[in-house]
Amino acid sequence: MTTRPTTRPSTRPAAPSATRLAARDVTLAYGERVVSANVDLDIMDGAFTAIIGPNACGKSTMLRSFVRLLKPTTGTISFDGRDISGYKPKSIAREVGFLPQQLAAPENIAVKRLVARGRYPHQSLLSTWSAEDERAVTGALAAAGVEELAERLVEELSGGQRQRVWVAMVLAQETPYLLLDEPTTFLDITHQYELLALFARLRDEGRTVIAVLHDINQACRFADHLVAMKDGRVVAQGAPADIVDAALIQEVFDLPCIVVPDPAVGTPMIVPTP
Amino acid sequence: MNTIVLRVGRYSVLVERRTVLVSLALAGAGLALALVGLCHGASWATPSEVLSALAGRGDSVVVIRDWRLPRVAAALVFGASLGLAGAIFQNLTRNALGSPDVIGLDAGAYTGALFAITVLSGTAAQLAIGSVIGGLLTALLIYVLSLKSGLSGLRLIVIGIAVNAILTAVNSWIELRAELDVAIAATGWSAGSLNGIDWDEVYLPFLIIGGLMLVLVTLSHAMHQAALGDELAVTSGVSLNRLRLLIVLVGVGCTATVTAIAGPIVFIALAAPQIGRRLAGAAGVTLVPAALTGAALLMAADLVAQLLLAPMALPVGVVTTAIGGCYLIWLLFREVKRP
């Protein structure tokens, strides 16, 4: 049980093994409380990585450290071999985008204007709206399927529409890396699948997607690479088909279950046992 | 399309059509009120007399240009300055109640100014520096007391209201303990007044406020980005700590400069950003409508202060406090009802 392989070759040979975004020996802590100690994690380029694990296992904290919201107490988060804290804020924000879990739009803002806020790292003091910004915003609205909402006010939208608008905003940032903290949490099941399919599509278009997900079956179906965390440690990582079995779920979630192939797509599906 | 792209060479910005129109209307209203302010006095001047006096012709050049114009200019510039300070702190706290007059920054700046006149000799420079330091210390105190709950949230506002009450009491105590002549001067000024302002007093504040506005222009884009919340601000490339420090300095500077000259004038900073935002139909608390609304509001309030019990001129702060109190009660009701 303790000698679980941490990396195995991905079932998707398309994903290159190079890694630009990586954590090396990082310790993450809120004040005195250490969440993760001495963790290494390489983000697989061009892949859709899902981070799974029980509540408070440190998965969101890990994600936050990758986007400079939490500075590691030891070790470094590096991008292209350089510590991310050494980059200018706007220049790293053109590479790595993030969608937090808690989101609040300014009052009275139209969808298009909110999505345009994603362009901030590409703008300068005097040029806050270029033709390039216009193109990126139009593209992001289309990719997230919210073009017809462009002139509506964000506060008038349903939860599912609003979440897609926020995704459009982070898409407009046009970062090769997209990090999402529980993006599907408050959505109904239809919107959850729509959103996950969108992330898979973005991956197909060449972006690297890393999402914290709660639903293991969804993670297995859509992600190329799973990272399972418990108590701040990476317990296992690899392609879902390679690593997900009853023993892993028992170890990580403390949940007795059987693992069967998903009848629709054949990826691992967990079924808890009584 | 309800937006316009303004382009100069390779620089371009996107603005809402309605914001542009409302801003022009607000500027027009401010100037119209200013014209009334210039006409009003011991004897009414006609608008044409005012305009020719401004151009340096006619008999009333001294009365209008040297006596009435500084007061009118001060109402406009100070109103704009207070409106901006309100917009800054409402953005920072993400709360309509988080304006400098509610959370005690005006009172703190006034404490600093009182210290300058009672303990020191009370020169203009001491007053200005005293009020800025008083404002900054108050901001620091509120920040430290609300560290646990963060910058946004009702807790900071409640702490600010308490700090405001304490400092107001401290200010009264200083006035009571002071020498009689100092106390009389301070009491007249404690209500917030533009009475008897002349050019010599306003040159320096105008320069300072102009400088602060220039700094604010360079910060405004980042400030609006920060309104998305701390996390998105950081991950989209805002240097949040640097921005916050600068924006607090500018906001306190805007409030304290006005307080040093005119005393604490409340309500403008609280109401102008919200009125401007609603009129302009803008997203979040925007700066230009806030400044223009502030200018028009203070100008209007100063006219009411002069006309209400004419020929006796009230301190403008009495008028703004009376109106502002009602508005504050309404805001508090709404805030408490909010889920």
Predicted local distance difference test score (pLDDT) of residue A4: 46
Asked if A228 and A248 count as a contact pair (C-beta separation under 8 A), the reply is yes
Residue of B6, B151, B228, B244 best to disrupt the A interface, most CBs of A under 10 A: B228
Work out the average pLDDT over B280-288. 88
Q: Is the pLDDT of residue A3 over 70?
A: no
Q: Residue B274: closest CA among chain A residues belongs to which residue?
A: A107
Predicted local distance difference test score (pLDDT) of residue B338: 62
Residue of B229, B236, B283 with shortest CB distance to A104: B229
Predicted local distance difference test score (pLDDT) of residue B237: 95
Least confident among A116-120, B42-46, B304-308: B42-46
Q: CA distances (Å), A19 to each of A43, A79, B156, B168, in order?
A: 6, 9, 43, 60
| CB < 8 Å to A117, chain B | 224-225, 228, 232, 236
CB contact under 8 A, B11 and A126: yes
**What mean pLDDT, rounded, does chain B reach?**
87
CB contact under 8 A, A97 and B2: no
Residue of B236, B242, B286, B335 best to disrupt the A interface, most CBs of A under 10 A: B236
Predicted local distance difference test score (pLDDT) of residue A242: 94
Which residues, 6+ apart, have CB-to-CB distance to A126 below 8 Å? Answer: B11, B13
- Taking each helix axis from N to C end, the angle separating B17-39 and B287-307, rounded to the nearest 10 degrees, works out to 20
Closest-CA distance of chain A to residue B332, Å: 18
Closest-CA distance of chain B to residue A125, Å: 7
Report which of residues B88 and B264 the model is more confident about.
B88
A107 interfacial to chain B (CB closer than 8 Å)? yes
| CB < 8 Å to B229, chain A | 100, 102-104
What distance in Å separates the CA atoms of residue A167 and residue A160, rounded to the nearest whole number? 11
3-state secondary structure of B5: strand
Closest-CA distance of chain A to residue B91, Å: 10
For residue A258, the number of C-alpha atoms closer than 13 Å in the C-beta half-sphere is: 5
pLDDT digits (tens, 9 = 90+) for B31-87: 999 999 999 877 888 888 888 888 888 788 888 888 889 999 999 999 999 999 999
Residue of B235, B283, B284 with shortest CB distance to A93: B235
Report which of residues A224 and A124 the model is more confident about.
A224
Which residues, 6+ apart, have CB-to-CB distance to B79 below 8 Å? Answer: B30, B268, B272, B294, B295, B296, B297, B298, B299
Predicted local distance difference test score (pLDDT) of residue B152: 66
Predicted local distance difference test score (pLDDT) of residue A10: 42
- The helix, strand and coil proportions of chain B, stated in percent and rounded to the nearest 5, come to 75, 5, 25
CB contact under 8 A, B13 and A127: yes
A68 Cα distance to chain centroid: 15
Report which of residues B195 and A117 the model is more confident about.
A117
pTM of the prediction? 0.88
pLDDT digits (tens, 9 = 90+) for A204-219: 999 999 999 999 999 9
Residue of A67, A105, A123 with shortest CB distance to B235: A67
Q: Which amino acid is at B84?
A: L
Asked if B225 and B109 count as a contact pair (C-beta separation under 8 A), the reply is no
CB contact under 8 A, B236 and A106: no
Residue of A89, A106, A127 with shortest CB distance to B284: A106
Q: Is the pLDDT of residue A87 over 80?
A: yes
Predicted local distance difference test score (pLDDT) of residue B141: 92
**What mean pLDDT, rounded, does chain A reach?**
90
| CB < 8 Å to B228, chain A | 104-106, 117
Give the pLDDT band of residue B325 (cuts 50, 70, 90): confident
Work out the average pLDDT over A219-238. 95
Please name the residue that has the structure tokens 């609300």.
B146
Residue of A69, A116, A126 with shortest CB distance to B235: A69
Q: Is the pLDDT of residue B301 over 60?
A: yes
Least confident among A161-170, A228-237, B53-62, B295-304: B53-62
Report which of residues B137 and B175 the model is more confident about.
B137
Task: Please state, for a pLDDT cut of 70, what percent of chain B lies above it.
Answer: 96
A100 interfacial to chain B (CB closer than 8 Å)? yes
Residue of B229, B236, B283 with shortest CB distance to A120: B236
Pairing of strands A208-212, A177-181: parallel
Q: Is the pLDDT of residue B339 over 80?
A: no
| CB < 8 Å to A106, chain B | 224, 227-228, 283-284
Predicted local distance difference test score (pLDDT) of residue A107: 87
Report which of residues B146 and A271 the model is more confident about.
A271
Q: Is the pLDDT of residue A265 over 70?
A: yes
Predicted local distance difference test score (pLDDT) of residue B78: 96
pLDDT digits (tens, 9 = 90+) for A170-215: 999 999 999 999 999 878 899 899 999 999 999 999 999 999 999 9
What distance in Å separates the CA atoms of residue B153 and residue B137, rounded to the nearest whole number? 21
pLDDT digits (tens, 9 = 90+) for A12-51: 444 444 689 999 999 999 988 999 999 999 999 999 999 9
